[in-house]
Amino acid sequence: MQKNQVVKKMLAVGAFAAMFSAFGVQAQTSAQSATSQSNMTGKAGVAKLSAADKKTLTDMAIANMAEVETGKLALSKSQNAEVKTFAQQMVDDHGKALTEVQALAQTKGVTLPTELDAKHKAISAKLEKLSGEAFDREYMKTVGVTDHKQTHSKLQQGAKSAKDPDVKALATKMMPTVEQHLKAAQQMSSHKSGTTSGK
């Protein structure tokens, strides 16, 4: 039954595309339009994202997944109240952001990765082996500061150069939260270079 609905939607999309090309709007080549139809979720008129915009969405998904995963790790491993509070905020904020990225990707017909990339897997593996203050320092430095700096610059890039208005808007929306996380992490890291006290 669902298959029939999908077929009907695909046909509707095909009819819509045909209507446009009939009006002289130069659509993509037939090979491209076939791919874009298979990438559409049935919403007529959903434009296929450019490769750069797809990469922006994928980067946002991986960054958010990484923050949630390492945040959960910090919640289970850290004994420091400040670090645990920061980690909980990462799980909450980036969990929410990930949901938004996934929802947008779905409407744009983009398949997002379901696991972390090699770089973030390596960070998680390194953190897994640490404990106590060594864990706290490494988590705040690598995940809190370095990761947020990289994520912020990717979001800036996306907000500036994304062609798709929804991708651009989402990148812009996420920037203030990432900035706030980065500032908090930088303050905590500067304290951590001294002594760590579990409040």
> pLDDT tens digit string along 59-107?
999 999 999 999 999 999 999 999 999 999 999 999 999 999 999 999 9
Q: What angle in degrees, to the nearest 10, is found between the helix axes of 51-77 and 165-192?
A: 30
| Average pLDDT score over residue span 135-151 | 97
| Average pLDDT score over residue span 111-123 | 96
- What is the pLDDT, as a whole number, of residue 24? 42
Q: Where are the domains of the chain?
A: 2-39, 51-192
- What is the pLDDT, as a whole number, of residue 190? 82
DSSP tag of 163: S
Give the predicted TM-score (pTM) of the model. 0.73
- What is the pLDDT, as a whole number, of residue 47? 62
With beta carbons less than 8 A apart as the criterion, state whether 127 and 139 touch: yes
- What is the pLDDT, as a whole number, of residue 152? 97
Share the mean pLDDT of the chain.
81
Q: Could you tell me which CATH number the domain at 51-192 has? A: 1.20.1260.10
Beta strands in the chain (DSSP E): none
- What is the pLDDT, as a whole number, of residue 46? 55
- Tell which wins on pLDDT, 39 or 47: 47
With beta carbons less than 8 A apart as the criterion, state whether 166 and 104 touch: yes
With beta carbons less than 8 A apart as the criterion, state whether 67 and 147 touch: yes
Among 8-17, 95-104, 138-147, name the one with the lowest average pLDDT: 8-17
- Tell which wins on pLDDT, 137 or 1: 137
The end-to-end CA distance of the chain, in Å, is 58
| Average pLDDT score over residue span 110-135 | 96
Reply yes or no on whether the pLDDT at 134 is more than 70: yes
DSSP tag of 50: P
